[in-house]
Structure 1
Amino acid sequence: MATTAEEKSNKGLWGWLAVIGVFLLTKAKWLLVLLKVGKFATLASMFISLWAYAVFYGWKFAIALVYLIFVHEMGHLVAAKMKRIPTSPAIFIPFLGAAIGIDPKKIKNAKTEFFVAYGGPLAGLISILPAIALYIITNDPYWALVIQLGALINLFNLFPVSPLDGGRIVSVLSTKIWLIGLIILIPIIFISPDPILMLIFIFGLVTWWKQFKENTNEEVMKHEEQVLIEINHDFQSLTQNDSGTSNAQYTSLVNKLTYQKDQVNHFLKNNSGFAFPILQEKKRMEVKKKNAEKIILRRTIESMGYSEGIIDEDHQYDAVLAKVQNKNEAKLIEISKEVNRIRAYYQTSVQTKVKSLLLYLALAVLLAILLVYAINILG
């Protein structure tokens, strides 16, 4: 019992050390900059991690751990290179693992994200194979430990919560799986409180919320698109008139837009209270749409420059309308591009989804089998 208590204490200690490490890394950005300078960043950070692990766990364990992490990260790097996505060198972070820098904007869709994310655990599986062969030849339990460690690291990484590899892998299926992963993680954290799990939960929640907001933003942008189209339609109906836009017609259009803006303001005034995310999402969505509509109407009315005495000749109205209409068209193009980007990113065929799911499950099952195999040897 004493040994178990000591192991739990050590586990908690290293977990909190990892949290402290994250804090220090966010504050001491100069350290990361220093490590990234030159072509030996990976090697330098690798030896620092090797030394740190060796101090607490011994050299044999440290070498195995760094080797497994290195191969895992190289899997991501190779996958990224295959897709011609630029990366920064792998940087090892003691007690947290390692990471390679990839600009998310360079990943154009979820299928590519799957490919890059899958490369890590797949390489991790391959990294275990030499240990299996060496155990069969030597019967040395050290190699069984390497098998167990490699299987555990990569299987854990397949958990469907972003920013773990599993979360990025299942994005090709549906980002709703992220929420399922977070819900599953809650009882695990309560049963076995661990700072690393808490960090993953927090990061996962932030990533899920960001994606949830992106879906909301798409709905808002579609509403903006509709408002702009309606305004431009009104403009076009005036400018197509051969006799030109009269003062009365121009004033009528301004009054119409002003009335519409007043109606929006009235709605916002009556719905100004707090609305709970998700639980009152319909209300939140309508408020966001109306706020976006209000901005468009205000800017349009201001751009029309209407006030008595500023525009006093009929022929000037058409020029103003054309100018505002062109601005609206440019905004429509911008919105359309962003909406298409959001839709296209996670849009995959059924065949791709099925193939991705089978690959994901196959990798998870193989790693689980190896983990059980190693545990039986060491147990």
Structure 2
Amino acid sequence: MKNKKAWGVIITLGLLVLSKFKFVLVILKVLKLQTLISMAIYLWMYALIYGWKFAVAFVYLIFIHEMGHTYAAKRLKLPVSPAIFIPFVGAAIAMKEMPKSAKDEAYLAYMGPVFGLLAFLPAFPLYFYSEDPFWALVIFLGGLLNLFNLIPITPLDGGRIAAGISTKLWAVGLIILLGYSIYNFSILGFIITIIGAMEWYRIYQQQKNLAKDKKEVSSYITTNNLLREHSERASVSNFTYYAGSFKKDILNEQLRETFNILNKVEELETTEEQDREIIDEFLLRFDEQVHKIKNEFERKAAYYKTDNKTKLKLFVIYMGLVVFLAASTYFGNSIIMESEEMKRIME
């Protein structure tokens, strides 16, 4: 058992070092076979340590789990990358675009454990028919894998589900995961705990700053309206001076840079008609940027707002999954403990 853990740690550290070299990812991308190649490497490495039976079962369970996320992403019309298998870590798909709300994010997260549950359900009748403890191992692995993923802390599925219920649940997830990591001295657990804590702090700061952001966006909208009104009645030189007085109050760098368009009026020898075109270009771009900032603020403000009915539904489904997966893990483990062969594999 100690030798297996030692090899696991050595190989994991080696992979973390290799992951820093971007050419590995580039090669996989060019081949267009990143899922198949990473799956083969994953399978081979687990087979070396635990044997082919265990490796095939584990890869199968993880693959179906990730296909659940892929299915949900397609339903939500969200572009995602192919699944990549990372030995001694798991597998993941990368979102190329964020969901529109925490409700959609929860749905995306749910489909992983749901598909994961469906993946090992056939193992129940197969065990009762054959009494082969290998099927109990599949049940145990499927239950544990998906149950671990339901710990309510990002980047685990449970954290994304909790986002649709209450971000306060992330505190519970942090305590659970930290306790698990200390008890099992899990390096991966500690890494996820740190990532989860950082993400929770980021969201906390984002939500805390919403009132300030709202005031800032409101000032940009007011400025935009005042500039448009003034442009209709003022001369070119007067408008340029008037617009310049607002620049110092603008915090957004992109909006501040837009004011540089007006420098053309002063620096170049242009006609009044050309000056007017420059001002119109400035107003158009300023208006577009203000609306973009406004839309982004509204998206952030509304992202974690979920109605009580949806929260209750998400919570009930979450608890149902936790209970069933916990029962499955217990059932599989109780049978494994009675089988010397399975106990040797798990050790």
Instruction: Give TM-score, length-normalised by structure 1.
Output: 0.73
Partner of 1:355: 313
Task: Give yes or no for the alignment of 1:11 onto 2:5.
Answer: yes
Q: Gaps (5+ residues) in structure 1? A: 1-6, 265-290, 311-316
Classify 1:323/1:46 alpha carbon distance in 2 versus 1 (closer, same or farther; 3 Å). Answer: closer
Task: Give yes or no for the alignment of 1:97 onto 2:90.
Answer: yes
Task: Give yes or no for the alignment of 1:127 onto 2:124.
Answer: no
Q: Would the aligned equivalents of 2:255 and 2:286 in 1 still touch at CA under 8 Å?
A: no
Amino acid at match of 1:123: F
Partner of 1:85: 78
Distance in 1 between residues matched to 2:29 and 2:261, nearest whole Å? 48
Offset from partner CA, 1:301-358 (integer Å, 9 cap, x none): 98887xxxx9xxxxxx999998876665444212211112213333332221111111
Distance in 2 between residues matched to 1:30 and 1:236, nearest whole Å? 50
| Map 1:1-379 → 2, pairs under 5 A | 7=1, 10-11=4-5, 13-15=7-9, 17-27=11-21, 29-38=22-31, 40-105=33-98, 107-216=99-208, 218-231=210-223, 292=251, 328-379=286-337
Provide the secondary structure at the position in 2 that maps to 1:66. Answer: helix
Provide the secondary structure at the position in 1 that maps to 2:122. Answer: helix
Classify 1:255/1:377 alpha carbon distance in 2 versus 1 (closer, same or farther; 3 Å). Answer: closer
Q: Would the aligned equivalents of 1:49 and 1:94 in 2 still touch at CA under 8 Å?
A: yes
Distance in 1 between residues matched to 2:119 and 2:277, nearest whole Å? 68
Provide the secondary structure at the position in 1 that maps to 2:251. Answer: helix
Distance in 2 between residues matched to 1:82 and 1:319, nearest whole Å? 45
Report the Cα offset of residue 229 of structure 1. 4.2
Distance in 2 between residues matched to 1:163 and 1:366, nearest whole Å? 22
Q: Would the aligned equivalents of 2:69 and 2:111 in 1 still touch at CA under 8 Å?
A: yes
Report the Cα offset of residue 78 of structure 1. 2.0
Distance in 2 between residues matched to 1:148 and 1:297, nearest whole Å? 56
Distance in 2 between residues matched to 1:208 and 1:66, nearest whole Å? 30
Distance in 1 between residues matched to 2:125 and 2:207, nearest whole Å? 48
Partner of 2:340: none
Classify 1:153/1:15 alpha carbon distance in 2 versus 1 (closer, same or farther; 3 Å). Answer: farther
Classify 1:20/1:376 alpha carbon distance in 2 versus 1 (closer, same or farther; 3 Å). Answer: same
Distance in 1 between residues matched to 2:65 and 2:240, nearest whole Å? 66
Classify 1:109/1:248 alpha carbon distance in 2 versus 1 (closer, same or farther; 3 Å). Answer: closer
Classify 1:116/1:323 alpha carbon distance in 2 versus 1 (closer, same or farther; 3 Å). Answer: closer
Classify 1:146/1:329 alpha carbon distance in 2 versus 1 (closer, same or farther; 3 Å). Answer: same
Distance in 2 between residues matched to 1:299 and 1:39, nearest whole Å? 40
Provide the secondary structure at the position in 2 that maps to 1:171. Answer: helix
Distance in 2 between residues matched to 1:194 and 1:336, nearest whole Å? 43
- Between 1:48-57 and 1:30-39, the stretch displaced more is 30-39
Q: Would the aligned equivalents of 1:235 and 1:321 in 2 still touch at CA under 8 Å?
A: no
Distance in 1 between residues matched to 2:240 and 2:149, nearest whole Å? 62
Instruction: Give TM-score, length-normalised by structure 2.
Output: 0.79
Partner of 2:341: none
Q: Gaps (5+ residues) in structure 2? A: 269-274, 338-347
Amino acid at match of 1:374: G
Q: Would the aligned equivalents of 2:35 and 2:82 in 1 still touch at CA under 8 Å?
A: yes
Amino acid at match of 1:363: L
Distance in 1 between residues matched to 2:31 and 2:71, nearest whole Å? 20
Give % identity. 39
Q: Would the aligned equivalents of 1:12 and 1:194 in 2 still touch at CA under 8 Å?
A: no
Q: Would the aligned equivalents of 2:78 and 2:97 in 1 still touch at CA under 8 Å?
A: no
Distance in 2 between residues matched to 1:61 and 1:373, nearest whole Å? 18
Larger Rg: 1
Amino acid at match of 2:62: I
